[in-house]
A and B are shown apart, each in its own frame.
Chain A
């Protein structure tokens, strides 16, 4: 005997399956609002099937804090799971279908209800054309005729309508949890004791991952501090890993770079389970560092230079001179998973918020006829002009200074773009020869930001 529990008004945050487990360990989660339990063997605990149904209804009505659902449910008992599902969904309260009485009980149900059990859209469309509206009408059709017209799917559906199906429950497997937490007896202030706690949590986490043959590409650490605040860190990994030693080193490096503001009194750690990386490198592929080692190295470098200054520069496809962004290092090129490409907290750097440009017909980058040394950052300059042409330059900066009279110039070379955005830009460049006080001629590139009016020396030609 099977009992189906259905409710369309289950409050948010309450699980019908969890509720069902309190009556039987054999639970099928048919839908979010429907579960089926096998009640055979529950007699000793709950009495007869009807008494069990009454208990379910009563328990469900109680508040979630008391182990209930906080809502009314329909319960239907039948000899097969599908009949009990139909009855629970369409009949209020408690329904008991005696064996052999399925069709009598379910005969008036609309034929569309079959779609709840089996996705049978084309067949339902045919039945609509046939004028078959109820289970009863479908059940009456000759099975041979149905078979000839709809094949085995039609026969199976007809059996469903007749209440004659037999099947096992698709039992629900408990969902593995990849999160652990610990509450400390006394607050931790130093890195060393923290490392022991972290190691313990990571061991458990990685053990769980290994048990399910999974890895993770994201670690989340939450530290509850003594002052009541929450310190959160998220490590996005370039490839799925589950090496607890690497994780520990990464977390410690990250904590060194971003130390919590107060002593730690509790912590929890969670990860995003994903399938592990399975890569078979080609025989003649150049060797690349292992991702775990590279990640560790990068984390160490980031600690030294700052996460904003780590990565490989990538030129942006724009007329804007010198526009680039930092692309994070990686060994697997474009095969990275969600969360990488700058999502990791300490490596996300970009000089521009532009999205990555897809492949499209591109113009070649013209070569520069001369070597050009760029001042980074450009030198802020004061430029005297006559009829719009620069005549005198004075500029200072960390990288040096430029002072002198302009004796030769070419320009302006005008670029402007992003006019559709509020931060559109425009600038005029000039190539100028400046005679310094020592009468030496130096060839500079200067530019004027047309939006702000400021002048800069961008660099010097070799």
Chain B
């Protein structure tokens, strides 16, 4: 305990104006035994939650405040500030800003209150004498906190996100209107008081009215004259003025150190940030940099010595600290209310909706839980919801679900919400927690003291945006906001920015930022010194060394505020008094200044509206099936045991299927051999870092295959672990294990999960482990069994899936598999229309679909829409079309030769959309489709005339990929080709003429000789053009072209590997479609090599990877020689030799996972 409290500190959340994380400030405070501290970041409370939580943990009182930028409208000559006479800082001119046009106020108009509009207008242009000031405000009580939040929201929301400095400020009138509960400090050098640019005598005369204005506005007891001493001559001169003013007005003095960093050494980072902020190098920054390093957190003794002549300034810090009663514990957040019909309470309304829904879902049909069995669980949940007063929250989520249903938007709850029968009954989730015996406490528990978290999966794109906008519209701009995502300095961005500030040239900058490895697996031999040496940089060079120090120092410090992908906080119209709001970069969106974790820590309730690509695929597939098959698919009514689905899963034939298409999943599927829905739940959950790191995958698979007996760590755990053969695979199981073995309550078990969660703390983990062991001792579980249980809990809790979440995902996985197996055309079209998503590039998806018999048609301006569509098969006389539309052209070389026309059949073909033409703008693609729907194009001239926005390069691209091959020619080109250009070069010949302005005299004239003198593209050229123009080919696989040469080298096809015996030395070759080096794989690299028959899985050991790093990482085509491993029908090749292959004409990159 000391006699001094620092009441004016800034963290790195002042974004480039402070260089310590809030936790570092608290740690320094703890080190100095300071009982309290105040954090006043610039125009925000971004760091307040972290500061509060860190302080709370260490028993320090965290005072909250902020430095507010105020647009001062005073008179330089009189110093009058903000009163009626001098307040007229408006003119009558109108000013356009953002989307709205706002009218300024007339001179002298009195504005005593904040504009009632949700976005108050920007104050009109100010005369030159008006300038910006920064006023530090400390929060005394909850009213003050709410006022401060509103002030910050006010200044932020009326300007766009990237507003220029000076645009983001409150006016003195706005400040004056909301000062209750706030303490004003007179601030630093940019404060309203004590402008040192004039002599002291004038200064006092000039500044006194300003100080009086502050006293008028805040009240005498709420204004403190702040003194800072940083060994600066001019600062001290200002202090003398301030002391004199304080004496005259009888105001208390307050010593602070205006802290910008926790320790003196962090001044360097502060200087670097100053340079980044001002876009200058250190060498050029001059006096923009700090004069010295004195703005660190100083001990009480040092501060007392500095203010030895003014002991009251030190003593007042303790007095003021004692007055500041507010902490973020007292946030005043209330749950949102849902409007219910007259005569209903939210509880009764929720109860009715829940039981209504439950009767529809719990029908007791085959395999469906009867309502009566679910009812006790529902009652238990409803009672807890009512007790915790969460009815409004559930009703709000229910309301969002209702909106989605009304609008036909596919929506499904995921995460722990699936543990709730109420959520299931309300239609929020799709998994029956009663039937699956899921643990409700994982979702909601009384003891845990935190609010439930409901995540909704929505189709990514427009549908999700519509839902978000509905929430804004429903709860008002100040009633709902997205959670923030704090972007921190990491990796390459940090290296580049620090390097720039230090003045490195572009080449060195490139090398320095290139040092930041992005592969997930970090080689333990990769020491920093080695990395630098390999990059040709000498760590003993002082400048490089300084770079490295600074690079490390800025790691994880906040850089700017982003927007979380889907988290929304809802607060029934008063959110801006709970947390400051600001605009997001995306128009129409508002974000809170806290991130997801901060919101959760401070008890702000949120709904995650997450975009899921596969939801969009499912939605699009259903629409395509409706339009083309005349069938209605209801995802809730899919046959639960479809044999085709399980057959595909057992064969790992899962490209494109949700969650089960990855390389790791594919290698597990033939071993696990799913036979029922719960197996898919297990499959989804088992390939996760938790089970992998906890060594639970192999025991489970071996027990499933009957190679190991089913055993339990303790007999009491049999009911919990029976479904997973004695191996814990889900988070709920671990919680139940803790509840059974150690007697934990549901809340305690959830606390255990959090202790081992993302924000791990060694001390807390140890504490929980002791509690766990004690509980187990009490229940007689000791020795090996105890260790085994503790081991599984500790290694698993972080990365495991909750069973409910896995079940929600498994439902989507099953739906995707069902659609792929039964409606391949629609599913493939939908997946191609929602790229990028999943593990594979469109090329691989198309090749896989072709191997399954799908016929794909090329991009064609006479048929293609912007998106991929389905067409009935009518047959085509064109060579290229037949080649392309072949179900498996990659294995049928004969398909390249002319064949008789295929008779019409009802079969559906997939038509590639114009969206796959690289470089074609969407509006142009859509314009082509729109124009064509009115009248077919009469020729390329006609196309160009009717779609004038088509640029020459776009026409060329269309011609190059063959999209203009079938366009009818206005003038027959020759007798042999009566009506259409036959090949791509014909079109290219025409395009060049059409795209060149001929002038008014000649524009209506056609070419005398319409015959193209150009030769058609050969197969290799077409392949090259396809890959360059669309990133894929529907013709032969590129590897197939080289099959003869590969055969001579003894290279096997991927499809041939399955039939070979184990341990055989084989050679495979193909295109690398996926590279993975997961963190859990100890440096092993996994490659997927695709050829015309399928995919070969390659495993590369770390030693081989080190030797062939460049080839393995960069080369698109590889020849691998290695040993075949065939275990339980999972075939892979363990590489022994690697050789690059030079196949030309393919430019599409692989999908690498770093």
Contacts and interface: CB of A to CB of B under 8 A. Distances in A.
Contact of B1013 (A145, A316, A317, A417): A145
Interface string B215-241: 000000000000000111110110000
Interface size class of A (residues with CB under 8 A): 35 or more
A401 to B, nearest CB: 25
B444 interface: no
Interface stretch (B4-12, B42-50, B287-295): B287-295
A316 to B, nearest CB: 7
Contacts of B291: 319, 414-417
A129 interface: yes
A132 B267 CA distance: 64
B268 A131 contact: no
A369 B238 CA distance: 12
B647 interface: no
A131 B1007 contact: no
A422 interface: yes
Interface stretch (A215-223, A261-269, A297-305, A358-366): A358-366
A142 B1011 CA distance: 10
A149 B502 contact: no
A409 to B, nearest CB: 13
Contact of B1014 (A132, A144, A360, A366): A132
A412 interface: yes
Interface string B255-296: 000000000000110010000001010111011110111100
B992 A142 contact: no
B1013 A140 contact: yes
Contacts of A186: none
Contact of A366 (B231, B234, B1008): B234
B918 interface: no
Given A354-B283, A360-B284, A428-B231, A420 B988 contact: no
Contacts of A319: 287, 289, 291
A385 interface: no
A222 to B, nearest CB: 34
Interface in A110-141: 126, 129-132, 140-141
A403 B846 CA distance: 93
B343 interface: no
Interface string B199-222: 110000000000000000000000
B196 interface: yes
A130 B1025 CA distance: 12
Contact of B293 (A363, A410, A413, A416): A416
Contacts of A429: 233
Nearest to A125: B956
A224 to B, nearest CB: 39
B196 A366 contact: yes
A318 B287 contact: yes
A453 interface: no
B1017 interface: yes
Contacts of A183: none
A130 B1014 contact: yes
Contacts of A421: 542
A286 to B, nearest CB: 30
A150 interface: yes
A417 B289 contact: yes
Nearest to B200: A369
A14 B293 CA distance: 61
A149 B293 CA distance: 69
B823 interface: no
A129 B234 contact: no
A148 B998 CA distance: 8
B543 interface: yes
Interface in A134-180: 140-142, 144-145, 148-151
A193 interface: no
B992 A151 contact: no
Contact of A141 (B231, B233, B236, B1013): B1013
A358 B197 contact: no
Contacts of B543: 420
B502 A420 contact: yes
A364 B998 CA distance: 62
B1007 A145 contact: yes
A355 interface: yes
Contacts of A420: 268, 282, 502, 543, 546
B960 interface: yes
B286 A355 contact: no
Contacts of A364: 197
Interface in B1014-1069: 1014-1015, 1017, 1021
A362 B287 contact: yes
A288 interface: no
B989 interface: yes
A284 interface: no
Interface string A401-436: 000000000111111110111100010110100000
A357 interface: yes
B407 to A, nearest CB: 46
A289 interface: no
A367 interface: yes
Interface string A362-402: 11101101000000000000000000000000000000000
Contacts of A410: 236
B993 A149 contact: yes
B992 A126 contact: yes
B985 interface: yes
A376 B200 CA distance: 30
Nearest to A354: B283
Interface string B984-1022: 010011001100101000000001110001110100010
Contacts of B1021: 131
Contacts of B231: 411-414, 428
Given A131-B1021, A366-B196, A428-B231, A318 B284 contact: no
Contacts of B993: 145, 148-149
B1008 A316 contact: no
B280 A360 contact: yes
A138 B236 CA distance: 83
B282 A318 contact: no
A131 B1015 contact: yes
Given A130-B985, A369-B199, A413 B546 contact: no
A151 B989 CA distance: 14
B232 A317 contact: no
A179 to B, nearest CB: 34
Interface in B421-476: none
A412 B267 CA distance: 19
Nearest to A144: B1008
Nearest to A140: B1013
A360 B988 contact: no
A420 B270 CA distance: 13
Contacts of A411: 231
B286 A317 contact: yes
Contacts of A358: 280, 284
Given A131-B1021, A141-B1013, A414-B294, A150 B992 contact: yes
Nearest to A365: B287
A366 B197 contact: yes
Given A360-B288, A362-B286, A129 B960 contact: yes
A422 B542 contact: yes
Nearest to A367: B197
Contacts of B283: 354-355
A131 B985 contact: yes
A148 B1007 contact: yes
Most buried by B among A140, A360, A412, A422: A360
Given A144-B1009, A358-B284, A363-B287, 9 more contacts: A129-B956, A131-B1017, A142-B1013, A145-B1009, A150-B996, A410-B236, A413-B232, A417-B291, A420-B546
4 nearest CB pairs, A to B:
A317-B286, A414-B231, A149-B992, A414-B292
19 contacts: A129-B960, A130-B1014, A131-B1014, A131-B1021, A144-B1009, A148-B996, A148-B998, A148-B1007, A149-B989, A150-B992, A150-B996, A354-B283, A360-B288, A362-B286, A362-B288, A363-B288, A414-B230, A414-B232, A420-B546
